[in-house]
Amino acid sequence: MGGDIGSQMWITYAGDDKEAEAWKCIGLGRSLRRSLTTRPLGVIISEDVSQEMKELLKSEFQVCRRINPRGKPKDGRNLQFRSLAKLDILRIPQLKGSVFLDCNCLVLKNCDSIFRDKGMQWIDTDEHRHAAIFVNSKHGKRTGMMIDQIVEIENENDTTCTKNSIAQLEEFYGKLTYCKEVNISYEYPQAVNGDDVKMVYFMNGGHPMEVSCQKFYTFEYDLTKIWNSLVSPIRSKELVNNLFSILRHLTL
C-alpha cells in the first residue's frame, strides 16, 4: 500500500520466522480497515520474516520497516523483538503520533478515539508482562523516555520490581483499560456483561490462529468467526500463492 502516511499511525510488529505473527498482523490490519479507521497502518518486522511474507505485509500496510531481531541498544542488552520494535517507532520519518498495538490484538469496532487518549495497557501473560497498547500522542523526548521505561520493564525478571515500576509508569503517563483480555481455549466462556468491547487481546496462546474454539454461541466463538472472516488458514495459503504468482510474472 502507498500514499501519504499522515502524521498519526497504528503500529504493530512481526518478529518470528514461522510467520504466525505476520499473519496475526495481517488479521489485525484488516480488522482496523474493516472498522473504517482513518489512520494508516505500519508494521515493524524482523529480518527473519521471509521475503515473500514481507511482500505480503507491504501490500497490507502503508509502512513496513525491517529491523535486525538480534540488534541491541547502547547498553548491550538482549531484548524481546516486541521491545526492539517499540524502540524503532521514533525512527519512522514524519510521524508525529502513534498507537502501538500488540499483534495479538483484534479490533471489533472503530477505535480512532484512542489517539486522543494517553497511557498504556499492560498484559500479564504466562511468560512476562508487556505493554499491549500504548499511545504516543506527540512524539518527542517525553515519548522516548516512556518507551525506554516500557522496554526496561518488559525485559525485567524481578516480578516485584516490575509491578512497582508499572504502577509508577501508569501514574505518570496514564493507564488504559481499552482492550478486553480473552483466551478462546479456556474451559469457561468469557463474561462480557454488556460491555462495549471495541478491541480484544488474545492471551497465553489463546489466539484463533493457534487453537480452535468448541464453545458454541459464546463470545469466544464469535471472535473465532470474525477472525476466520479476515484470515482463514485456507484463504491465507491461497493468498500467499496468488501473490507469489503475481510477483513471478512481474519479474519475467
Instruction: Give pLDDT, residue 126.
Output: 62
Q: Grid coordinates 520519518 are at which residue?
A: 93
Q: Which cell numbers hold the place of 89? A: 517507532
Whole-number pLDDT of residue 237: 43
Which has more confidence, 246 or 206?
206
* Cβ–Cβ < 8 Å for 151, 83: yes
* Cα 27 from Cα 33, distance rounded (Å): 10
Contact 10, 43 (CB under 8 A): no
C-alpha cell at 19: 510467520
More confident residue, 128 or 248: 128
Give the C-alpha separation, 209 to 16, whole Å: 15
> Does residue 138 carry a pLDDT above 80?
no
Name the amino acid, one letter, at 186: Y
Closest CA to 47 of 13, 17, 77, 87: 17
Using alpha carbons only, give the angle 153, 104, 126 rounded to the nearest 5 degrees.
55
Report DSSP state, residue 174.
-
Between the CA of residue 170 and those of 39, 51, 67, 129, what are the distances in Å?
25, 38, 29, 14
Q: Which residue is associated with the grid cell 517507532?
A: 89
Q: Which helix (H) or strand (E) holds 101?
A: strand 97-101
In this prediction, residue 250 has a pLDDT band, given cuts at 50, 70 and 90, of low
- Taking only the tens place, the pLDDT of each residue in 50-61 is 999 999 999 999
Q: Buried (b) or exposed (e) across 14-30, using 16+ Cβ within 10 A?
A: bbbeebebbbbbbbbbb
Rounded Cα distance, 69 and 204, in Å: 22
3-state DSSP assignment of residue 177: coil
Measured at the CA of 147, the angle between CA 141 and CA 149, to 5 degrees, comes to 105
Whole-prediction pTM: 0.86
Q: At 85, list the grid cell.
A: 520494535
In order of start, what are the domains of the chain with their CATH numbers?
8-178 (3.90.550.10)
**Could you tell me what percent of the chain has a pLDDT over 70?**
83
Predicted confidence at residue 42, as pLDDT, reads: 96
Beta bridge partners of 234: none
Cβ atoms of residues 13 and 21 within 8 Å: yes
Amino acid of residue 150: I
Average pLDDT value for residue range 8-16 = 93
* Single-letter amino acid, residue 21: E
The pLDDT tens digits for 194-236 are 578 999 999 988 999 888 887 888 999 999 999 999 997 554 4
